[in-house]
Structure 1
Amino acid sequence: MAVRKKIAAVFATVALVTAGCGADSGTVNVSSGSDVDCGAFEAYLGHEGTTVTLMRTVNNLDVVNLSAALRDFSDCTSIKVQTVPSKDVEGTVTKTAGTKEAPDLAVISQPGLIKDLASAGKMTPPSKEFTDNAPQNYAKDMLSYATVNGTLFAVPFASSVKSLVWYSPSAFARAGYTVPQTWADFYVLADRIRAAGVNPWCDGWESGGATGWPGTDWVEEAMLRLHGPEVYDQWIAHQLPFNDPKVAAAFDWVGRVLKTPGYVLNGTPSIAPTGFGVAGLPVLSGKCYFYRMAAFYSSFFPRGTKIGPDGDIFVFYNPPVDAGRGKPVEISGDYLAAFADRPEVAAVQTFMASADFGSKFLKSGLGIPSNNKIPLEEFTNPVEKLSVQLLRDQNSVLRFDASDLMPGAVGAGTFWSEITKWINGQPTATTVANVEASWPK
């Protein structure tokens, strides 16, 4: 029998604890003033008066939205979820996992780190309830990236599709262009656009200390499309050396797009110094037609931009090389990992893995939840809806961002720096050899 609880003027106070960034700390008060059906939270009762810390890379607005998504849970269970913002979640948990300084829960975007910490015995597996239901709620590939020796150690939390190309549907309609279905079609269309006196592509890889990461996405897309998922997996595991001819071929495939004269707005030399956040905006003004970037890029367009299949800007699936080999889809994502073995921590983690929380998370604008049980009609943002359709498509071959799975010295190190040198003219053979030489022995 459902229990009903009247929530009137309840204030959830969230401590803003900053991690080593010199920012001021403070509090955010979130008010609730509505009836809440607490029957939905009966499974999480019995831990009243406890506190669970949750570390995530968020800004102050995200803290408010995340707190709002958790408000009913906290009001009904009396478990306080304290959001701990951090600009370096992975670095923090690497230093603190296994100690009392570690957060109870952390949202981690590097599955390779999860496997390292789990192998070292510094993580707590999810509850049996979650593990039993996980195969029905999440894509098999998403679960595999957080599984060590048959044990699942983290909950898929949010996903982002990277295999997308931004374009202007209205500009396409005016020019009579159609969305390419294979890369052979893409080259034909690019040449047609160039012949009309317009650069087909925009691109930019500048990202401060992370400059070059958009280039690694290009190579990852090429590896998956040219060689398939098995070779892609071997590459990540270093069973295929980074200087293997297959990897060099992927670089050269990217070069055919970004180093072909007339293909890129302002020329190939402009790519490395152009910020990725502004690089795709010229698509709106017709200065270029394509920008390869993940779903999250929708937030970079000016307020009032109509985003959708009939709008000023939208996305299409980055097509395969061979349409007969399925849909290769590169993804990135976050995982909710536990570093404390307490029942209230398990309760929060299990709730945050539920479709109920996923729906609240989606409505809060915090991202695309990974849970497959959220009805498709709840995804009202057209880019998010297309992304979810790709994630749930049985023909999709999902593979996680390779650089996030490689050792940090490579994936967030030499891969970034060497591909930047490559786009600036360094030979492919030198580039792949340098990255290979940096791989930890």
Structure 2
Amino acid sequence: MRRTTNRSAHRAGRAGRVRRTATASGAALALALTAAACGDGDTTGPASEGEFSGQTVTVAGVWTGTEQENFQKVLDAFSEKTGAKTDFLSTGDNVSTVIGSKIQGGDAPEVVMVPQVGVLNQFADNGWLTPLSSDVEQDASQNFANVWKDYGTVDGEYYGLYFKAAHKSLVWYSPDAFAQAGVEAPDSYAAMMETAGTISDSGLPAFSVAGQDGWTLTDWFENVYLSQAGPEKYDELAEHNLPWTDRSVVDALTTLGELFAEDDLLADGAAGALRTDFPTSVQKVFGPEPQAGMVYEGDFVGALVTNDFGRTLGEDADFFPFPAVDGGEAPVVSGGDAAVVLKDGKNQEAAMALMKFLASPEAAAVWAEAGGYLSPNKELDLSSYGDDLTRQTAESLVEAGDTVRFDMSDQAPAAFGGTAGKGEWKILQDFLRDPSDPEATAAELEKAAAAAFKG
């Protein structure tokens, strides 16, 4: 069972401007909000009176640490307004297994924050989900670009409300390294390669690549492919309606291979990249002993830069948008967490009230003010974000409108797009090691994809 794709919406191009109001209707405020506590089994303190006083909404999700604490603030707001208690269940990364066990044991949570389109499709296919109410759907249609609703829809039923997003089309760089090399942020992929060469010639490798984590390589490929091949082919490839042996895939691999083949451009060369995990890749650019000038990845790099390495965004750490390839549009690849309602959850009305709250700019503002968050809600006032770089990132995501595309590997079956040592992750690691034969790599990708989608 696959999601329904709104092709006409996807062709609509950039959708609208960012609206500068965070006001919600009285009805939205009356019904709004979700809840979660800092650990399994803990509950928030609700208002003494409220429409859902005496009810508990259990919310399951993968978040821990700071992310869970900040989401807790959203849930606390829901509890304060509605009187409902909230209980947060941390699932770890294996959401499907945990939720399946809870359903079988008769202890299903009301709401789950689903981190991948493929998992949402799986939940719907299993018959676990309640379609979202017409009120929630109406608010989502008003507050989000069509593409976000599309990714939450399976076989014509709207199940998943995207509350938290990631912007995975950013290249982070050291302003000091750029200044020493006498270069500026590039505005095309070809210019980025020229800039990389100049930085490397100055004595510092241009890129730090986290090749040990295969998911980062899928993100590299997706940005190149979306810009070079275009959104329609991206959609077809994501659903395996286009084979990975298509010429467009070979072309994207060829483009990416031009970078991977230049050991001088990579910190510690390709072999070193394959030993570098994601946090270390960021450290190699922004740590105390810089080993590269740039690192590609999403907005979440910013948290590492500031929290782990003490850099100041906009001063000694900056980013530029992943640049357009071969005259295409600059890509905006995203990811995100969708809230869904389980049909076996006990308090369905309170759960749907939480969904309505999550669709509001008020709920998004709570986490935006706390930090470490991007919202796809176009009604959220950008002043809610705490720094200029995050505001720029959020504005880029929202202004991309229906041209945004969800992470392709997250849409695929896990055996192909989400398992260490298998499928796309492993094949692209092999390609980083030896990028000399893009056509052979495309054939391997098609073989793995065909098996996974068939299964």
TMscore range, shorter length:
0.7 to 0.9
- Shift of the 76–31 alpha-carbon distance from structure 1 to 2, 3 Å rule, reads closer
Contact 2:181 2:198 in 1 (8 A): no
Q: Deviations over 1:109-139 (max 9, x none)?
A: 1112212332443211222111012122112
Q: CA contact under 8 A between 1:332 and 1:401: conserved in structure 2?
A: yes
Q: Does 1:389 align with 2:395?
A: yes
- Listed as ranges, the matches of 1:196-215 within 5 Å are 196-206=202-212, 211-215=213-217
Distance in 2 (CA, whole Å) between partners of 1:299 and 1:308 is 10
How has the CA–CA distance of structure 1 residues 415 and 286 changed in structure 2, closer, same or farther, with 3 Å as cutoff?
same
User: What secondary structure is seen at the aligned counterpart in 1 of 2:333?
Assistant: strand
The aligned counterpart of 2:227 is 225
Alignment of 1:291-310 (within 5 A): 291-301=295-305, 303=308, 305-309=310-314
Whether the aligned pair in 1 keeps the contact of 2:147 and 2:402 (CA below 8 Å) is no
String of CA shifts for 1:247-285, please: whole Å, max 9, x gaps.
122222111112213110111111111111111222234
Which of 424, 430, 435 is matched with 2:433 structurally?
424
Greater strand fraction, Structure 1 or Structure 2: 1
Q: Does 1:70 align with 2:75?
A: yes
Counterpart Cα distance in 2 of 1:383 and 1:410: 34
Are 2:117 and 2:411, in contact at CA under 8 Å, matched by a contact in 1? yes
d(CA) in 2 for partners of 1:193 and 1:315?
A: 16
Contact 2:145 2:401 in 1 (8 A): no
Q: Is the 8 A contact 2:52 2:350 kept in 1?
A: yes
Q: Structure 1 regions of 5+ residues with no counterpart?
A: 3-11, 18-25
Identify if the C-alpha distance between structure 1 residues 47 and 433 changes in structure 2 by more than 3 Å, giving closer, same or farther. Answer: same
Q: Which residue of 1 aligns with 2:85?
A: 80
Letter paired with 1:331 = S
- Look up the match of 2:10: none
Please, what TM-score do these two structures have when normalized by structure 1? 0.84
Indicate conservation of the 8 Å contact 2:133/2:352, yes or no. Answer: yes
Could you tell me how far apart the structure 2 residues matched to 1:327 and 1:91 are?
A: 37
Partners in 1 of 2:439 and 2:102 — Cα distance? 39
Residue 189 (str. 1) matches residue 199 (str. 2): no
> Does residue 189 of structure 2 align to residue 166 of structure 1?
no
Distance in 2 between the 1:72 and 1:202 partners? 40
- Given that 1:326 and 1:397 are in contact with CA atoms closer than 8 Å, whether structure 2 keeps it comes out as no
Query: Match of 1:160, SS?
Result: strand
1:126-167 per-position Cα deviation (integer Å, ceiling 9, x unaligned):
221110121221122111111123331111110110100010
Q: For residues 280 and 259 of structure 1, do their structure 2 counterparts lie closer, same or farther at Cα, with a shift above 3 Å needed?
A: farther
TM-score by length of 2: 0.82
Within 5 Å, give how 1:16-415 maps onto structure 2.
16-17=39-40, 27=42, 45-87=50-92, 88-93=94-99, 100-206=106-212, 211-284=213-286, 285-301=289-305, 303=308, 305-309=310-314, 311-323=315-327, 325-340=328-343, 342-394=348-400, 397-413=403-419, 414-415=423-424
Q: Displacement of 1:417 after TM fit? A: 1.6
Offset of residue 196 of structure 1: 2.4
Aligned-pair CA distance for 1:326: 3.3
Between Structure 1 and Structure 2, how many residues are aligned?
A: 407
Amino acid at match of 1:349: M
CA contact (8 A) 1:328 1:396 kept: no
Q: Indicate the structure whose relative CO is greater, using CA pairs within 8 Å and at least 6 residues apart.
A: 2
Tell me the CA shift for residue 222 of structure 1: 1.5
1:240 match: secondary structure: coil
Provide the C-alpha distance between the structure 1 equivalents of 2:444 and 2:96, rounded to a whole number of angstroms. 26
SS at match of 1:280: helix
SS at the partner of 2:332? strand
State whether residues 167 and 298 of structure 2, in contact with CA within 8 Å, keep that contact through their aligned partners in structure 1. yes
User: Is the 8 Å Cα contact of residues 361 and 367 (structure 1) preserved in structure 2?
Assistant: yes
AA in 1 matched with 2:301: Y
Over residues 395-426 of structure 1, what are the superposed CA-to-partner deviations in whole Å (9 max), with x where a residue is unaligned? 77211100000112111131112212222227
The equivalent residue for 2:12 is none
1:434 and 2:444 are equivalent in the alignment: yes
Say whether the 8 Å CA contact 2:117–2:152 is kept in structure 1: yes
Q: Higher mean Cα deviation, 138-147 or 64-73?
A: 64-73
- Per mean C-alpha deviation after superposition, the further-off stretch among 401-410 and 341-350 is 341-350
- TM-superposed CA distance for 1:191, in Å, is 2.0
Matched residue type, 2:110: D
Given residue 127 of structure 1, which amino acid in structure 2 is its aligned partner?
S
SS in 1 for 2:404: strand
Structure 1 position 175, deviation (Å)? 3.5
Percent of matched pairs sharing the same residue: 26
In the alignment, is the contact (CA less than 8 A) between 2:210 and 2:276 conserved in 1?
yes
Give 1:67 shift: 2.6
Query: Larger deviation: 290-299 or 171-180?
Result: 171-180
Q: CA deviation at 1:98?
A: 7.9
Structure 2 gap segments, 5+ residues each = 1-25, 27-34
Classify 1:245/1:322 alpha carbon distance in 2 versus 1 (closer, same or farther; 3 Å).
Answer: closer
SS of corresponding position for 2:403:
strand
C-alpha distance in 2 between matches for 1:430 and 1:161: 31
Deviations 1:337-389 (A, max 9, x none): 11036111111221122111111122233522222211011112333212211
CA distance in 2: counterparts of 1:127 and 1:298, whole angstroms = 36
Distance 1:400 1:63 in 2: 23
